[in-house]
Amino acid sequence: MPYAYAIAPLGHSKNQFLAITIIPMQKETPINKILSKLDDSISPDEAQQLETWRKASDENESFFKAFSFFWNDKQTGQTRFEPNTEQALSTIHHRISRRLFIRRTVKVAAIFVAFISIASLLLMLSPMEETNKIIAKHQQKITLPDGTTVILAQGSQLIYPEHFKSSKRKVELTGKAWFDVAYNPEQPFIVETHNARTKVLGTQFTITANDSKPTTVFLDKGKVAFRAKQWFSESHILKPGEMISFKNGAYQKSKQNNLNASSWATQQLQFKSTPLINVIRELEAYYKVKIELQTLQIGQLRFTGTLKEPTAKDALEIIALTLKLKLTQNENTLTLNL
């Protein structure tokens, strides 16, 4: 037999216990007593039993009211109405089921709203963590509390805490930055931008994040997980040499053959059996100078090495020595000759 539970306090003190009354419910709906009630033929004992049944639960009371409505709706003016009880029960149970569904949905929504409210309250009551905010007036190198190195491009902004106290290390970036993240598998490193999140353990990568352009990540080494700030968005894993961009809900992933995508931050250029004509183009872009080759054949020579020289002339002297070429300078133009 199902039961209903009535809970009432024993006094007004918060230390008082609650009294729980167990009320047995009838397994079968007392349809005959309801009919007797509606046609005024119910006995006092039956009326008391029906009243107890109605008060046993909200569902019982809803059933009684719905059935009463159905009864009144089906009256034809005859002195004695013979209802189709099976049809009545089916119709009313359907109505009650809808009411129960709505009621339960409202309860779930209320619980969800309460949860969000509590979470927001806890967030407001939690102590504010001290943070640093840096806007780079020029290219700037920063060392974070965990030892991570960040190189900010001019005009970029980085926000990070004084100390990484939580289970994750999180920073916020606007603009462009290169990261060399200190390895710590127990405390993942997360870079938040306006529309995406990049998660790493320890690696080197460049992020560019501006409102007007796609957010892009280029991975030098290690591994990162990139995903948009959208519910149920997919996480994309990058391998060294890969780049991913995201804008307006669309991802674009590609393999970059250029080893020097992060040279602006690392201040070094890497080449691996690269045609000299391509090396010259990268040197021109990096050092912002004009470089010429005496003949087209020189451009087909291949160069392998890492250049960390402060000037284009210093870098070209190393290339000339390696490939047995001659370097000359005419005003602002540097030329490699046979």
Q: What is the pLDDT of residues 24-33, one digit of tens each?
A: 444 567 878 8
> φ and ψ at 142, to 5 degrees?
-130, 140
Arithmetic mean of pLDDT, 215-219: 92
Tens digit of pLDDT for each residue in 42-81?
888 888 988 998 988 888 887 888 777 766 655 444 444 4
What is the location of CATH 3.55.50.30 in the chain? 268-337
The CATH code belonging to domain 268-337 is 3.55.50.30
Asked if residues 164 and 184 have their Cβ atoms less than 8 Å apart, the reply is no
Architecture of domain 131-255: Sandwich (2.60)
Amino acid at 92: I
Tens digit of pLDDT for each residue in 259-275?
788 888 888 898 999 99
pLDDT band of residue 109 (cuts 50, 70, 90) is: low
Q: CA-to-CA distance for 135 and 149, rounded, in angstroms?
A: 16
Arithmetic mean of pLDDT, 319-330: 91
Q: How far apart are the first and last CA of the chain?
A: 103
Asked if residues 59 and 67 have their Cβ atoms less than 8 Å apart, the reply is no
> Distances in Å between the alpha carbon of 186 and those of 46, 150, 189, 200, 202?
70, 20, 10, 11, 11
Note the pLDDT of residue 8: 45
For the cut 80, the answer to whether the pLDDT of residue 244 exceeds it is yes
Tens digit of pLDDT for each residue in 143-202?
999 999 999 999 999 999 999 988 889 999 999 999 999 999 889 999 999 889 999 977
Note the pLDDT of residue 198: 93
Asked if residues 69 and 95 have their Cβ atoms less than 8 Å apart, the reply is no
Lowest mean pLDDT among 41-50, 106-115, 150-159, 216-225: 106-115
Of 246, 239, 275, 279, nearest to 260 (Cα)?
279
Arithmetic mean of pLDDT, 105-117: 55
> φ and ψ at 300, to 5 degrees?
-85, -10
